[in-house]
Amino acid sequence: MEKNELIEKINEVLAEEFEIEVSDITPEGDIKDTLQLDSLSLVDMVALIESEFGVKIKGTEVGQIKNFAALYDFVYSNQK
């Protein structure tokens, strides 16, 4: 998947799952703040990315992915 298409798709599935507007998501935005994630719903984000894009984010990697730009990069570079 091309990166722009991937970004659009990631934003779409995250917005739907966490019940926010796609327009609330910006590349620099903090993921936890924007999606209002706690330690439990963070698991749902990881599971969603894995089930939708086949990209597993390991526990040690989650903490390093702070904003959406980092998430896009991670998924793009790890997609099969």
Partner 1 sequence: MQNRVVITGMGIYSCLGKTLDEVRDSLYYGKSGIIFDPVRKEMGFRSALTAHLEEPDLKKVLSRSQRVYMPEQAKYAYCATADALRNAGIDQDYLNTHDVGLLYGNDSSTVPNVKAVDTMREKKDTTLCGSGAIFQSMNSTVTMNLGVIFKLKGINLTVSGACASGSHAIGLGALLIQNGLQEMVVCGGAQEVNPWAVGSFDGISAFSVREDEPTKASRPFDRDRDGLVPGGGAATIVIESYESAIRRGAPILAEILGYGFSSNGDHISSPNVEGPSKSLIMAIRRAGIDIKEIGYINAHATSTHVGDTNEAKAIYNVIGDHRIEVTSTKSQTGHEMWMAGASEVIYSMLMMKNGFIGANLNFENPDEDSAKLLIPDQRIEKHFDTFLSNSFGFGGTNSTLVIRNL
Which residues of this protein are in contact with partner 1, per CB under 8 A?
17-19, 36, 38, 40-41, 43-44, 46-47, 50-51, 56
> Cα(53)–Cα(6) distance, rounded to whole angstroms?
9
Q: How far is the CB of 15 from partner 1 (least distance, A)?
A: 12
Residue 55's contacts (CB-CB under 8 Å, 6 or more residues apart) are: 49, 74, 75, 78, 79, 80
Q: How far is the CB of 43 from partner 1 (least distance, A)?
A: 4
* Complex with partner 1: residue 33 or 50, whichever CB lies closer: 50
